[in-house]
Amino acid sequence: MPEKFIPIADIRYASRVPHVPAHIPTPTGLLADTLGRPLRDLRISVTDRCNFRCSYCMPREVFDKDYAFLPQTSLLSFEEIARLARIFVANGVEKIRLTGGEPLLRKNLEVLIEMLAKITTTSGQPLDITLTTNASLLAKKAQSLKDAGLQRVTVSLDGLDDAVFRRMNDVDFPVADVLKGIEAAQRVGLTPIKVNMVVKRGTNDAEILPMARHFRNSGVVLRFIEYMDVGATNGWRMDEVLPSAQVIERLQTEFPLLAVNPNYAGETAERWRYADGGGEVGVISSVTHAFCGDCNRARLSTEGKLFLCLFASQGQDLRALLRGDFSDAQIGGAVGHIWQSRTDRYSEMRAALPADASPADTGRRVEMSYIGG
């Protein structure tokens, strides 16, 4: 096996202050980028910290006890996040997903959710508010999150075998506690719950069928995600990617599946349902099948950098505008200008490279732990 090499490059501060147009158009909620993709989904990282050290996201070799996380003063306040959310919603956003790091580590997160729950879309509908979590704190917080206005959760879970799961989270956290969190979320109505499993060939791919058996007939939607080349610290290699097509083949050996149409334009998961009515599974082919063509997502880092792609190398510093002498209209004009200039389609461009291309061939990119998945 080749020696694992982890390049370290901190690009958290690689950003530019956005241009504020002289003429500020009235927002219509109908923004489109250069490829005609609308702005509909905003993912907000509320913390860069996590209590897990998963090798594909925050490997312990980099994120050790000496790692310098962002100081509290750098983070956007809840008021600043809510202000930006209103600006993005005026420009077409209908769904907000709170991410991290581990978002439940952000103190009093329920207060932010209450603020966001008061926002309505341009069509007058409630804002769709969701959260992605490792579920380590979910059993304790599920009820308060629901009461604050959170609608659904997505849980990251990379296996049911306790030994495998403890090795992958690298903090010896038991899988039983994650399952308790999922049960608590179901009990309070944070549904439909999605469970995301990142599949690494040779590490946890033996867990595919056990995960399917466990969540079938449970109401939980299980999704298998190809191991992605996000950032530079996870030591990504193509030979550790198990293509989604092979995941489906493994599932089909035990459970006949039928293809299902997407729920909406821009959905990342390819949907399948069990032929016997046992529920639904999905695959996210982030490496082998580019889905840039209808991507409608923007990402906001915990200290206010706007990224237009999960694989971006530079952000736009919206915090500078928030803490400067700029009105909501001016910030909204800057956001509109950024989105309308968007050309990002990293996955499609990577697909044109040789199959054995390394992350170094595609340029330096922001880390997943910094802007969320």
Q: What is the DSSP string of 90-132?
A: HTT--EEEEESS-GGGSTTHHHHHHHHHT-B-TTSPBPEEEEE
Q: What is the pLDDT of residue 134?
A: 98
Whether the CB-CB separation of 37 and 342 falls below 8 Å is answered with yes
Distance separating alpha carbons of residues 261 and 66, to the nearest angstrom: 47
Is residue 235 domain-resident?
yes
What is the CATH classification number for the domain harbouring 258? 3.20.20.70
State the pLDDT confidence band at 291, using cuts at 50, 70 and 90: low
Is residue 10 domain-resident?
no
Q: Of 190, 206, 248, nearest to 224 (Cα)? A: 248
Among the residue ranges 28-37, 64-73, 283-292, the one predicted with the least confidence is 283-292
pLDDT cut 70: percent of the chain above it? 86
Distance separating alpha carbons of residues 42 and 212, to the nearest angstrom: 29
CA 274 to chain centre: 26
34, pLDDT greater than 90? yes
Is residue 215 domain-resident?
yes
228 versus 214: which is more confidently predicted?
214
Distance separating alpha carbons of residues 195 and 288, to the nearest angstrom: 21
State the pLDDT confidence band at 4, using cuts at 50, 70 and 90: very low
Q: What is the pLDDT of residue 285?
A: 87
Which residue segment(s) compose the domain that 228 sits in? 15-371
Whether the CB-CB separation of 225 and 284 falls below 8 Å is answered with yes
pLDDT single digits (tens) 254-273: 999 999 988 877 678 899 99
87, pLDDT greater than 50? yes
Q: What is the pLDDT of residue 119?
A: 98
Q: Where are the beta strands (DSSP E) in the chain?
A: 15-16, 41-45, 95-99, 128-133, 152-156, 194-199, 221-226, 257-260, 270-274, 280-284, 297-300, 305-307, 315-317
Whether the CB-CB separation of 317 and 300 falls below 8 Å is answered with no
28 versus 45: which is more confidently predicted?
45
- Calculate the average pLDDT of the chain: 89
pLDDT single digits (tens) 70-80: 999 999 999 99
Is residue 2 domain-resident?
no
Judge if the upstream peptide bond of residue 36 is cis by omega within 30 degrees of 0.
no
Q: Of 64, 66, 52, 60, nearest to 103 (Cα)? A: 52
pLDDT cut 90: percent of the chain above it? 72
Q: Tokens 């082998």 correspond to what residue?
A: 288
104, pLDDT greater than 80? yes
Distance separating alpha carbons of residues 304 and 307, to the nearest angstrom: 10
How many CB atoms sit inside 10 A of residue 197's CB?
23
For the chain, the domain total comes to 1
Distance separating alpha carbons of residues 210 and 231, to the nearest angstrom: 30
Q: What is the pLDDT of residue 126?
A: 95
Judge if the upstream peptide bond of residue 192 is cis by omega within 30 degrees of 0.
yes
